[in-house]
Amino acid sequence: MTGSRPLALVTGASSGIGYELARLFGEHGHDLVVNAEDDRLEHAAQRLRETGAEVRAVRADLRTAEGVDRLVAALTGHAVDVAALNAGVGRGGAFVDTDPADDQSVIDLNVTSTVRLAKPLLRDMVARGVGRLMFTSSVAATMPGSFQSVYNASKSFVQSFAQALQEEVADTGVTVTSFMPGPTETDFFRRAGMADTKVGTMDKDDPAQVARQAFDAVMKGRGKLVTGSPKTKAQGVADRVLPDRVKAAVHRRMAEPGTAPDGDGR
């Protein structure tokens, strides 16, 4: 990186919301460090270079300590102006049926890597007195996730973590933003094994729209917001007042295996 333009880091950038965020940063004058663990990353990086950005692709699996260390090492010597910790994974199904290794994978990526990456990034930003840190949370953070229990709990952690950091860095010149998408048209539900669920087959929000709203929020220094369609925003409002037991029951109707309209749904 030449250092002539501000630098943005985006994890989970090979597709979906992460790619769209990276594209927006590139179009608005940032050079990019983009990360993902899959083989689509280099193709995404090539497309992102069309924005005029200098792009470094760091392929690393953030579910592992080695992957996190590799990404942190790639940032050594570079001042990150904005970091979007977006990488995440889910696993659908009843908790008693899911593989413990899959549950641990959700925790390792959504929780552990988020904490391990946020530490050096935030320390550097606070020391410089400038920077923007953003987290991809979820409306799932606001509700018990029946048949997606570990994922929703992991996003509740991310949401609480982000809001705690907002208070800690107040008046340092650094901002922390968490944005909360609803179901979005990405690879998430396929990778989570939720193709036979109502939420997996329903119409979803546009990742470009979600990313645009999140980008605007982080550049304005907003603390948190629900992103996406009016339907998703309405869900965010409802989740503030509905009892947890009601939200858990609603989530079950969306996420229980076999609830897809063309399956054995009820």
pLDDT in tens, 127-168: 999 999 999 999 999 999 999 999 999 999 999 999 999 999
* pLDDT at 1 (0 to 100): 65
Q: Are 176 and 168 in contact (CB under 8 A)?
A: no
Q: Which of 155, 180, 151 is nearest to 92 (CA)?
A: 151
Which CATH number characterizes residue 185's domain?
A: 3.40.50.720
Catalytic position from the list 151, 179, 189, 215: 151
Q: Which residues are CB-contacts of 107 (< 8 A; sequence separation ≥ 6)? A: 150, 154
User: For the whole model, what pTM was predicted?
Assistant: 0.94
Percent of the chain with pLDDT over 90: 95
- In this prediction, residue 2 carries a pLDDT of 65
State the total domains in the chain.
1
The answer to whether residue 192 is domain-embedded is: yes
> What's the confidence (pLDDT) of residue 51?
97
Domain contains 246? yes
Domain enclosing residue 101, as ranges: 7-255
Q: With respect to residue 33, please indicate whether it lies within any of the assigned structural domains.
A: yes
Asked whether residue 1 is domain-assigned, the answer is no
Task: Give domain status of residue 263, yes or no.
Answer: no
The arrangement of strands across the sheet holding 55-59 comes to 55-59, 31-36, 7-11, 82-85, 131-136, 174-181, 224-227
Quick check: is 19 catalytic?
A: no
Residue 265 lies in a domain: no
